[in-house]
Amino acid sequence: MSILINKKNKVIVQGLTGKEGLFHTEQMISYGTTIVGGVTPGKGGTSSLNIPIFNTVEEAINNTGADVSVIFVPPAFASDAILESIYANIKLIVCITEGIPVSDMVIVKEFLKKEKKSTLIGPNCPGIISPKESKVGIMPNSIFNRKGKIGIISRSGTLTYEAADQIVKFGYGISTAVGIGGDTIIGMNIKDIMNLFLEDIETKCIIMIGEIGGKLEIEAAEWIKMKKNKKKPIIGFIAGTTAPKGKTMGHAGAIVEKKIETAQAKMDILKKNGIHVVQSPEDIGITVHELLGSI
């Protein structure tokens, strides 16, 4: 069973007519995602890839019944695109855009809390993919080709793909992989996604891929230890073994402000809270096999 998305979802693409939007829309359609419309202000009434283009999200919803939106809009306009989808009560919003100003995301975050009808993944994320169901984002189709019982939560796009590849090589499949994004302010966090996987009866093991900087992994680990119904093994990996304090390494959210936010400190906390920590993404597949055997 998948979380967040499935084959029944109807997806609109904000920014479909741009270069990135066009390319990844083709890839999503090829994967089996139901794309019902695109949104590009000023181009309403036209079509692209045989998909109708609308001027606004509200117009797209009224004409297609869409419940999911994926955003490929330039950074300067991406927060407005997110706000438009929230205002239109889109159930799930996935923002791929990198480089949105933090001040813009502060406004988005407050609006999300106030409206409470929309869920945001990202920004600066690879999106969500559920094999044999749907893809909303930019994950490579070829890697996520086997449906199964392993859930993936990741702050890193590339390491999401590596983890999936290692899992598939050992004969397992993915229930859903969620890239939550690497920015300082994001929508759903690690704990939010982990809770969905714990409630999903078909997900038997959870992979958590974190990074240096911030406390998302720590908060999730401490929360999971207190969960009385936690019966699923969790495998953790923290990317970025070294980084100077206050230095950005890769993502905007990967800034080490305190010693507790370093890779080693996080790994120690994860272990202390019962998470199986691996030293390399290459160890993920074999660790899944050791914990679960044949499922």
113 burial type by CB count under 10 A (0-12 exposed, 13-18 middle, 19+ buried): exposed
Are 154 and 163 a contacting pair, CB within 8 Å?
yes
φ, ψ at 31 (rounded to 5°): -75, -20
Q: What does the alpha-carbon distance between residue 151 and residue 228 come to, in Å, rounded to a whole number?
A: 20
Cα–chain center distance at 146: 18
Q: Which stretches within the chain are classed as H helix? A: 19-31, 57-64, 75-87, 102-115, 157-169, 190-199, 216-226, 263-272, 284-292
Closest C-alpha to 138, from 169, 179, 176, 108: 179
- The one catalytic residue in 24, 251, 276, 289 is 251
Residue 251 a catalytic site member: yes
Residues annotated as catalytic are: 251
